[in-house]
Chain A
Amino acid sequence: MTHLLEVENLTRQFGGLTAVNKLSFYMDQGEVVGLIGPNGAGKTTCFNMISGSMRPSMGTVRFRGEVISGLKAHQVTKRGLTRTFQVVQPFPEMSALENVMIGAFARHRSRQAAEDKAGEVLERIAMKHKATVLARDLTLLELKRLEIGKALATEPELLLLDEVAAGLTPVEIDDILALVRKLNSEGMSLLVVEHVMKVIMNLSHRIVVLNFGSKISEGTAKEIAKDPAVLDAYLGEEGYVA
């Protein structure tokens, strides 16, 4: 059986630094997989390569059986895989609605259809009341929601979330958690990078742990919490694994 996503020997070097080292893992339809690791472990680099924004130095990415490594990001998005950015990337001079419309245009040619779709998405992310506000006037929480909204509008089958909870208060985090759970219950698969352990432990069916670019552990939340290699990697970062 082919998996939804298969990552094989994925590697990326920056000069002498190997940011991601021969990483292999897979995901199945409907799964939420967590990708964790200390700062600089290579999580974002991994996202960049899977989503097509960065070419791997080596290795392949397969999505629904098709090799997508080598494609441009916009081509990957068309195939149903998209990502959010760790540092929010809004279109500042466009309204919230227009921001989301850009995503919707991936599936809809006509402006009216894209606008309708974007309206629906804004409703989902509880941003309808901000539709006409320019992105540069939104708060961080709103921008984080918008980041998810833009990606949702492309109607992904697999969504990669890069630290959507970072910088939010516990209450705001619960909000976003609820949204992610809802998306998953509706059939969307998610690959989630998160530093906030509460989020990752709560959400993921399986977790992949990276350290210095290499996979050091993989399993359920319970399993990896007991794995000495993981505890080692997080030593000095206590408080993350509790």
Chain B
Amino acid sequence: MKGRWGWVTPFVVCGLAALLPLFLSKYYLHMAVIVLMWAFLAVAWNILGGYGGLHSLGNGLFMGVGGYGAAYLVLHGGVSPWLSMVIFGVVAGVMGAFVGYLCFRYGLKGAYFALVTIAFTEAAVYVVSNWGALGASNGLSLPIAKENNLAMLQFTSEKGYFYAILALLLVLVLFTRWLAGRRFGYRLISVRENEEAAEALGVGTFATKMWAIVLSAAITAVGGVFYVTLFNYIDPRSVFGEAISVQILLYAIVGGLSTVWGPVVGAAILVPIAEIVRSSALGQKFQGAYLLTYGVILVVTMLFMPKGIVGLAHDIRRRFGGRSAAPGPPAVFPEKLETESAGKDGLAP
């Protein structure tokens, strides 16, 4: 599937998915839209988190930039959300560069990087909660669509949203594939695997990480724009809260880090499970039951397939002599983390 014809796969998969509205009821179609939206956000997270090994726990920040920005411009001036995707993609990219510069200048990675991203997102909760123009803690609401309007990304049925997010996801998957298969993609993985060795082999590790966070942030903001046009509502906790950032990461990890399809598969499996649990008797009784379910699934995944579902498939294919076009996924927590300081050159025997 990978080799020369690999680029056909996304078209085939999305082509088949495009038939879903013929079979699905309104309820399940809505679920499909949500799956695709999370898949989009998880694929964007994966560029930095999976390929780059920099696990951001603050992608809600960039999502919020897109969501709030688009909502504000719809309410004040009726600017098309499509245009907002470009504008706030750039804005979030710049913010990503800022966060990245602060972290990478001082060589922060692992838990330290994650903590900084959490801090920024938490700060956003307080800033936006006190920002009158953005509705403070009440958030912003968009008027409900009375007719289909593609330019404003407003639809009266789920079908419109479904095709919009499917198209966005198709473009993103193609982009990720392209990125992973070229020099930048290889270098990004080398930085994740061994930064010192990468640098010695001519990889500008700082610039590589900067590009990764800028891309990931910009694309996440695009997902945020879609989020607000879908729900017609955004408030500080819903995007800047930790639940969102954690969910994104969970889909990527369970599906398989640094694989093109991993985050998509992760979202496709986990989102419906969450919805089913949430609407079950148990879920009605205990609000957080779906989070508990996620926790169990995460633990099981890490125990039995540390490289996620798609990562496991990669490994199996490699074992049987297959060749893959791009380097494979890492285990979620590579052993390198523990031996990092011990293995430093010059101090070892």
* A48 B328 Cβ-Cβ under 8 A: no
> Which residues 299-349 in B have Cβ within 8 Å of A in the complex?
318, 321, 323, 327-331, 334-336, 343-346, 348
Whether, in the assembled complex, A95 has its beta carbon less than 8 Å from a beta carbon of chain B, the answer is yes
The reply to whether A89 and B194 form a contact with Cβ atoms under 8 Å apart is yes
Chain A-chain B contacts (Cβ-Cβ < 8 Å), number: 116
Please state if B345 and A85 are interface contacts (CB–CB under 8 Å): yes
Give residues 123-161 of B contacting A (CB, 8 Å). none
Q: Are A109 and B202 in contact (CB under 8 A)?
A: no
Separation in Å of the A47 CB from the closest CB of chain B?
8
Flag if B323 contacts A77 (CB, 8 Å): no
Given contacts A91-B198, A105-B187, 10 further A-B contacts (CB under 8 A): A74-B205, A85-B345, A86-B346, A93-B329, A94-B190, A98-B327, A102-B201, A111-B183, A114-B183, A154-B201
- Distance, CA A109 to CA B186, complexed state (A): 11
**Chain B's nearest CB lies how many Å from the CB of A179?**
19
Indicate whether B110 reaches chain A with its CB closer than 8 angstroms: no
Task: Count chain A CB atoms within 10 A of each CB in B197, B200, B336 and give the residue with the most.
Answer: B200
The distance in angstroms between the C-alpha atoms of A44 and B181, with both chains bound, is 35
| 24 contacting pairs across A/B (C-beta < 8 A) | A53-B196, A53-B200, A72-B199, A73-B199, A73-B200, A77-B200, A78-B202, A85-B196, A85-B200, A85-B345, A87-B343, A87-B344, A91-B189, A91-B190, A93-B330, A95-B327, A101-B186, A102-B197, A105-B186, A106-B201, A106-B202, A132-B321, A150-B201, A154-B202
**Interface membership of B203, Cβ < 8 A:** yes
CB of A65 closer than 8 Å to a CB of B = no
- Tally chain A residues at the interface, Cβ within 8 Å: 39
**A111 contacts B196, CB within 8 Å?**
no
- Nearest A residue (CB) for B343: A87
Q: Does A151 contact B (CB under 8 A)?
A: yes
- In whole Å, how far is A54's beta carbon from the nearest beta carbon of chain B? 9
Closest chain B residue, CB of each to CB of A98: B327
**Contacting residues, chain B, for A114 (C-beta < 8 A):** 183, 186
State whether A111 touches B200 (Cβ < 8 A).
no
Whether A51 is near chain B, meaning CB under 8 Å from some CB there, is: yes
In the complex the two chains form, is A103's CB within 8 Å of B330's CB? Answer: no
Whether B197 and A90, one on each chain, are in contact in the complex, defined by CB atoms closer than 8 angstroms, is yes
Number of residues of chain B lying within 8 A (CB) of chain A:
35
Interface positions, chain B 197-216, Cβ under 8 Å from A, are 197-205
Partner of A94, one of B189, B203, B336, B348: B189
With beta carbons under 8 angstroms apart, the residue of A44, A90, A132, A154 that contacts B345 is A44
- A window 117-141: CB within 8 A of B: 132, 134
Task: Kindly list chain A residues whose C-beta atoms are within 8 Å of the C-beta of B182.
Answer: 111
Q: Would you give the shortest CB distance from B261 to chain A, in whole angstroms?
A: 18
- A56-78 vs B, CB cutoff 8 Å, 1 = contact: the mask equals 00000000000000001110011
**Known: A106-B202, A111-B181. Is A93-B328 also a contact (CB below 8 A)?**
yes
Q: Which 4 A-B pairs give the minimum distances between C-beta atoms?
A: A106-B202, A91-B193, A89-B197, A77-B202
In the docked arrangement, what's the CA distance between A150 and B348, Å? 21
Chain B residue nearest in CB terms to A133: B318
Chain B residues in 8 Å Cβ range of A93: 189, 193, 327-331, 334
B-side contacts of A48, CB under 8 Å: 345-346
A105 touches B202 (CB 8 A): yes
Contact indicator A98/B186 (Cβ below 8 Å): yes
Question: Could you tell me the distance between the alpha carbons of A110 and B186 in the complex, rounded to whole angstroms?
Answer: 11
Q: Which residues of B contact A85 (CB under 8 A)?
A: 196-197, 200, 345
Q: Which B residues from 17 to 35 make CB contacts under 8 A with A?
A: none
CB-based nearest A residue for B199:
A73
B160-183 interface (Cβ within 8 A of A): 181-183
CA distance A73 to B190 in the complex (A): 15
Of B201, B204, B328, B348, most A-chain CB atoms within 10 Å = B201
